[in-house]
Amino acid sequence: MLSGSYEECGSAGRSRVKPGDVLIHPPFDAHLDRFSRTGACILNITLPAVFGTPAVGRVEDPDEIVRAAERDPGAARECLHRQMRYLKAPPLDWPDALALRLRADPTCRLDAWADEQGLSKEALSRGFGKVFGITPAAFRAEAKVQQALALMTYGAQPLSNIALAAGFADQAHMTRAVRIVTGEPPTRLRRSIGFKTAPPQE
């Protein structure tokens, strides 16, 4: 984020972004952007191994990163890593709290969560959709896919075990969901990703 301001809704919840703010997304993360009247200038940098690690942070000198990106993407990544200061942003309201809950536990039952918050199922769906642009059920489905992708990246578990751990009914259910989000079946994605021993540190 280089200039201007906007609000973004994604797997990490909702973030109100200002100049110098940084948002890290896992691959295939769908999100909704709402820009201010003055617009915004955004620099996208491809980072390695970011499955399952959405994060929010700030940099002190975004112009330095822009200049580095014009010369070499690798230099821009190094500059970003050196400047990045991670932030813990509290949920703005109940839709954000639900988004964070679904990301942490994609098996969360929406009706039970609504009851805990004193919300009807209709109010839950309508209010969440107004903020994030999709229903809570669709957000939960994407969260399951992101969790499955993270498990595929950082371990050699059988796909059937990963499907159950990510909250899918079975491997076939996971395969359909992953293909919808990524365009590829899990077996092909896993070969292209390769294995890593641990998730990247924030």
The confidence band for 143, taking pLDDT boundaries of 50, 70 and 90, is confident
Residue showing tokens 């199922």: 121
Domain count, the chain: 2
Q: How far apart are CA 88 and CA 134, in angstroms?
A: 24
Unique residue bearing structure tokens 């932030």: 87
30-38 average pLDDT score:
69
Q: Are residues 68 and 105 in the same domain?
A: no
Domain boundary among 87, 121, 149: 87
**Distance from C-alpha of 15 to C-alpha of 8, rounded to nearest angstrom:** 5
Clarify whether residues 82 and 100 are in a common domain: no
On whether residue 201 sits in a domain, the answer given is no
Structural domain that includes position 62:
3-87
Best CA proximity match to 58, nearest among 35, 85, 95: 85
Residues 6+ apart with CB under 8 A from 138: none
pLDDT band for position 5 (50/70/90)? low
Higher pLDDT, 3 or 124: 124
In a 3-state reduction of DSSP, which class is residue 156? coil
Mean pLDDT value of segment 174-181: 92
- Give the angle 82-79-36 at the CA atoms, nearest 5°: 100
CATH number assigned to the domain comprising residue 189: 1.10.10.60
Q: Are residues 99 and 188 in the same domain?
A: yes
Q: How far is 69 from 85, CA to CA, in rounded Å?
A: 19
Structural domain ending residue among the three candidates 87, 117, 146? 87
Nearest to 181 by CA among 31, 66, 39, 65: 31
- Whether residue 196 is predicted with pLDDT greater than 60 in this model: the reply is no
**Residues 99 and 52 reside in one and the same domain:** no
Indicate if 73 and 151 belong to the same structural domain. no
Task: Among 67, 87, 107, give the residue marking a domain's end.
Answer: 87
Q: How far apart are CA 33 and CA 161, in angstroms?
A: 35
Q: Is residue 11 part of a domain?
A: yes
Residue 3 has pLDDT above 60, yes or no: no
Q: Quick check: pTM over 0.85?
A: no
Same domain, 16 and 74: yes
